[in-house]
Amino acid sequence: MKNDRILLDHGSGGRASQQLVSDLILRYFTNTSLAQLEDSTEIYVDWYRLTFSTDSYVVDPIFFPGGNIGDLAINGTVNDIAMRGAIPKFLSVGFILEEGLLIADFEKILVSMAMAARKANVQVVTGDTKVVPRGAADKIFINTSGIGVLLDGRKISGHNALPGDSIIISGTIADHGVTVLTQREGLEFSGSFASDSQALNHLVEAMIAVCPDIHSLRDPTRGGLATTLNEIAEQSNVGIQLHEDAIPINQDVRAACELLGLDPLYLANEGKLVACVPAEHTKKVLAAMYNRPEGKHACVIGNVVADDPGKVWLVTAIGGSRLVDMLAGEPLPRIC
């Protein structure tokens, strides 16, 4: 560690976060499950294969177009479990509430969480509530943990991408990041902005039904699409080539990013997935995704290659190419 204090960069999901985990946290908790550094880990209980995941949510503001901190927490943990090909089943919820939070706002958050859980077909089965003095937190922080069932034969991992795989994204990128930013800063742009927060487990099941051999799945949250693909490239020791023209971006989001000087490749998404799929199965996976509302804008944005292992390259709209590195720094803290 180069710093003697925690910085906002350490929560970015990018290079600094990775170093915090690898250089410090793994030093004290290392084991074969944790060392995989997946969004959820595979565990065994007797003859059952399970996945387990946990995440904490500190988003500011707590309400935004398209969702709030509550449904974001449910959807985020459901998605982390689903990205291993597991079926999410049970969640825990922990609340840290700041003194002075409006009961009406807390109830609104609870209602949205209940609705999100029903839609994802998961149950909240345990939890905890703590209240801290005014100023010791910011309204509400939420932790959710989840358990999913991993069926036999499913071996989806960020370590499994292979040269020749097609890279599929389920829809437009950067919607959540731009929405939260405009709400937080009170920015007014023409156009419509809404978070893409949603559970993706039903979409994943539709994809696996037509292609049990999906190699990798990830939801590109903190650090965005660029950081997620760098993680896959490093874990699988492969190269990744993207095509700028193929990456779907809402026109209003693109315009806002250009005005603010932000790269949408590094902005958070909360309801999208990236899949590495054997090329011969690409068409039927896309067809299955189109039949689900969460995947109706799915498309191929690149492919996995053997060259430049651990690197991600972007073929630009004018025919050039540039290296797309993992996020460095924290362009937008408290995004989820």
Summarize pLDDT for 192-248 with one digit per residue, the tens. Answer: 899 999 999 999 999 999 999 999 999 999 999 999 999 999 999 999 999 999 999
What are the structure tokens assigned to 302, written together?
């690149």
Average pLDDT over every residue of 266-280: 98
**What pLDDT does 17 receive?**
87
Instruction: Enumerate helices (H) and strands (E) in the chain, giving the number of each.
Output: 9, 14
Question: Parallel, antiparallel, or unpaired: how do β-strands 87-98 and 123-132 relate?
Answer: parallel
pLDDT mean across residues, the chain: 94
Q: Report residue 4's pLDDT band, with 50, 70 and 90 as the boundaries.
A: confident
Q: What is the pTM of this model?
A: 0.95
Where residue 1 falls among pLDDT bands split at 50, 70, 90?
low
The pLDDT value recorded for residue 8 is 85
Q: Is the pLDDT of residue 165 over 90?
A: yes
38-149 and 166-323 agree in CATH topology: no
Query: For residues 206 and 215, what is the distance between their CA atoms, to the nearest angstrom?
Result: 15
The mean pLDDT value for 51-60 works out to 97
pLDDT given for residue 14 in this prediction: 82
Whether domain 166-323 has CATH 3.90.650.10? yes
| CATH number for region 38-149 | 3.30.1330.10
For the cut 80, the answer to whether the pLDDT of residue 12 exceeds it is: no
Give me the pLDDT at residue 15, please.
Answer: 84
The pLDDT-based confidence of 333 (bands split at 50, 70, 90) is confident
CA gap 327, 263 in Å, rounded: 10
Q: For residue 98, what pLDDT is reported?
A: 98
* pLDDT tens by residue, 248-261: 999 999 999 999 99
| Continuous H helices in the chain | 15-20, 26-29, 69-82, 103-120, 175-185, 201-210, 224-236, 251-260, 282-290
CB count within 10 Å of CB 150 equals 21
Domain residue ranges of the chain, discontinuous segments joined by +: 38-149, 166-323
Residues forming a β-bridge with 56:
143
